[in-house]
Amino acid sequence: MTALKLELRGITKRFGSLVANDHIDLTVEPGEIHCLLGENGAGKSTLMNVLYGLYEPTSGEIVVDGTPREFRTAGDAIAAGIGMVHQHFMLVPVFTVAENVMLGHEETQALGWLDRRRAKKKVLDLVAEYGLAVDPDALVEDLPVGLQQRVEILKALVRDAKVLILDEPTAVLTPQETEELFRVMRSLRESGVSIVFITHKLKEVKAVADRITVIRRGKVVGSADPAASETELASLMVGRPVDLVVHKEPAQPGEVRFALDKLTVLDDFGNVQVDAVDLELREGEILGIAGVQGNGQTELTQAILGLRRPAAGSIRLDGRDITALSPRKTLDAGVGFVPEDRQHDGIVGEFTVSENLVLDLVTRPPFGNGISVDPKAVRDNARKRVAEFDIRTQSIDTPAGSLSGGNQQKVVVAREMSRPLRMFIASQPTRGVDVGAMEFIHQRIVAERDIGTPVIIVSTELDEVVALADRIAVMYRGRIVGIVPPTASREQLGLLMAGVDDPELLARAAGNPNLVTEDDSTATAEGSAPEADPTAGEEGQA
């Protein structure tokens, strides 16, 4: 393969008054893994969409092997040797691997029949050349996420991509699948393919990058060596020193405050998404729910809040059955809730910041009495929360929908954590916030636990779950397949996330046989409560 050198010179992309990319220079050398590191919303994906022909730059130029090029479509970029694997895959589930790989540039036999044999051979040749083990005859819908991602990579390689853009490629992978992806990336690099790796995960950057370019608020703020510490990288991303460690004392769990009994939840099409889940949560502990996105976590939290009616089973809080309560009555019962989709379920974009900060409190004193609202109390509260949670807004009267994603998240967290709670649930609590704000939110979650509130954290970020949780429940295809302490090995967690239920294999991954499985899913860590199961493993901190 003939490698190519890629240069972006002075790339600027504006959306109205918003400058997403501001005179960015970037060079990708032949056969290197170049990491584009930055917070969510820093402008990384926008820049790559410009490179791939999905956006037209406002100014600047793209240079390939010393020749300026103009990409008006993705086809132009592909023709120049640039491929992209998007975070959300572009595959046809009912097609085979070979059919997906050849889609859009099919080869035909006489009379126009598709030449499936040649398509299969091309896939097998690429599999052999790059070590991308995947069956060309397999249906994509039957493949795990990690193999679907390989199909996307094959789609780019069959079009002779010499530069491969990977946009947040580990977001939907287990730890084992992530390691396998890194192996594939190194193999591609050795074959001369350049890779632009977009991420905000510091550990992954250090594990695989040859060079690192850091983007902050649409600008390149520096380059870094992979040998740099995570703290140094985080400071470069945010622009100030950041403490990446979650500091917390060992949990002191009390009595059971929340329980699920054989909870079953269906999706909108009648498919089982939560399958007869039993779970208990004690006061003063954080239960982390881990798993690859799409294994029932969303439906579970929706059912707890009342956004989705369970098909069977019950939900109890402080001995009270809240299974059939509406979202309003569930919130009134003392449940704080940070939804995974803040724009759909967390804020009203047209309402001001001050109004959004009292959405579920506006009918109560001091903000209102059910008939009228006290504007002064609402505004005083907003000023206090904006300062306390570092919500960056021009004014408390600014529409919440105009804020950045991270600041919208801060509005939701501030509202839910600024009232007395009997239980707190946070789904993807730090999605879209910078590492500095993440540090603050983590501190607040731990503080909520320390005053006795039972807390559930749902996150696809395994580092976040491990750092915050006192126990970790792993969901796979709607079931709790295991509950482990935060000291569990990444290998063990990865096996559980992939649905592996072989006790011997799990025990070997754990380093000892003391694994809590779904048969004992309500057990707590040893020493956390008088009635704790002694097989649950020793309590430890991340």
Taking the C-alpha atoms of residue 186 and residue 31, their distance in angstroms, rounded to an integer, is 10
Q: Which pLDDT score is estimated for 161?
A: 87
Q: Which pLDDT score is estimated for 2?
A: 62
Structural domain boundaries of the chain? 6-238, 256-334+420-536, 350-419
DSSP 3-state of 89: coil
Residues 6+ apart with CB under 8 A from 18: none
Return the structure tokens found at 429. 């609590």
Per the CB < 8 A criterion, the answer to whether 52 and 71 are in contact is yes
Nearest partner of 57 among 114, 119, 11, 120, judged by Cα: 11
Quote the strand ranges of 370-527, DSSP E.
Answer: 423-427, 455-458, 471-476, 479-484, 516-517
In angstroms, the Cα distances linking 398 to 353, 391, 395 are 6, 12, 5
CATH architecture of 256-334+420-536: 3-Layer(aba) Sandwich (3.40)
Residue 434: pLDDT band (50, 70, 90) is low
Taking the C-alpha atoms of residue 118 and residue 98, their distance in angstroms, rounded to an integer, is 9
For residues 399-417, average pLDDT:
85
Residue 337: pLDDT band (50, 70, 90) is very high
Return the structure tokens found at 243. 């403490």
Nearest partner of 24 among 49, 47, 51, judged by Cα: 47
Question: For 242-290, what is each residue's pLDDT tens digit?
Answer: 777 888 989 999 999 999 999 999 988 899 999 999 999 999 999 999 9
CA triple 530-535-540, angle to 5 deg: 75
Residue 18, strand partner residues: 15
Return the structure tokens found at 278. 């039993």
Taking the C-alpha atoms of residue 515 and residue 503, their distance in angstroms, rounded to an integer, is 8
Q: Which pLDDT score is estimated for 62?
A: 95
DSSP 3-state of 428: coil
Helix residue ranges, H only, 292-398 = 297-305, 327-332, 353-356, 375-388
Instruction: Answer whether residue 492 shows pLDDT above 70.
Output: yes
Helix residue ranges, H only, 255-366 = 297-305, 327-332, 353-356
Nearest partner of 525 among 467, 485, 482, 490, judged by Cα: 485
Q: Which one is the CATH code of 6-238: 3.20.20.120, 3.40.50.620, 3.40.50.300, 3.40.630.10? A: 3.40.50.300
The pTM assigned to this predicted structure is 0.68
DSSP 3-state of 10: strand
CA triple 362-368-369, angle to 5 deg: 115
Per the CB < 8 A criterion, the answer to whether 460 and 171 are in contact is yes
What are the φ and ψ backbone dihedral angles of 538, each rounded to 5 degrees? -80, 140
Q: Which pLDDT score is estimated for 244?
A: 75
Residue 405: pLDDT band (50, 70, 90) is low
Please name the residue that has the structure tokens 């009270």. Answer: 320
The overall average pLDDT reported for the chain is 85
